[in-house]
Structure 1
């Protein structure tokens, strides 16, 4: 089955959110006092270019690597994953973590 065409507005939103995530990751790396190469080594990457791609918003961290990145940056893995989820999957984040108003409607 062919994939539906990507909505240009949605694509722009995804790009902007990935760039915001990249800026957040870069700030976390810099706060930890590491270069891209040092972070890449700590998380077991062969090349630092993946760190560069993620920080520029061209890529995203796979879920299975997020705990290693959090640990390398000295951050709580749960908070790290929640922050990335807010950028990478905003609707899922809303469903999981912004349920107070939704629960109030469901029980009313």
Structure 2
């Protein structure tokens, strides 16, 4: 069955979750003590502006780069990916991990 078009409320929630994910990623990067340019280099990106876009909520970390981002930020890849899933795909996160699982908080969620 095809997906229904997102309504305005869903679009606003998606935008807010992307913004929160970006804030979390920025905090993780700053805690690690690296710049956007250094993170981009470590994960194999040509331009640091992509990191800026992700941190501002305009983009998302591609699935095939999540392990590299986790390593660059000093985090365990599975926990990192699970944490991002809570922001990027909250309904899938709920289906996989239940309502009791926390999306926000540490990457160990």
TM-based fold match above 0.5: yes
Cα distance in 2 for partners of 1:76, 1:96 equals 19
Any unmatched runs of 5+ in structure 2? 101-109
Runs of 4+ in structure 1 deviating by more than 2 angstroms, as ranges, are: 3-6
What's the CA shift for 1:4?
5.2
Helix, strand or coil at the partner of 2:94: helix
Q: Which has the higher helix share?
A: 1
Q: Give how far 1:6 is off.
A: 3.1
Q: Which residue of 1 aligns with 2:104?
A: none
Structure 2: how far apart are the matches of 1:99 and 1:6?
22
Aligned match of 2:50: 50
1:31 alignment partner in structure 2: 31
- Per-residue CA shift, 1:4-27, capped at 9, x if unaligned? 543110000000000000000000
In the TM superposition, 1:10-29 aligns within 5 A as 10-29=10-29
CA distance in structure 2 between the aligned counterparts of 1:90 and 1:6, rounded to whole angstroms = 14
* TM-score (norm. length: structure 1): 0.86
How many correspondences in the alignment?
A: 99
Provide structure 1 residue ranges, at least 5 long, that are not aligned to the other structure: 101-108
CA distance in 1, matches of 2:39, 2:99: 35
Of structures 1 and 2, the larger Rg is shown by 1
**Deviation of the 1:98 alpha carbon:** 1.4
- How far apart in 2 are the matches of 1:13 and 1:99? 17
TM-score of the two chains, using structure 2 as the length reference: 0.85
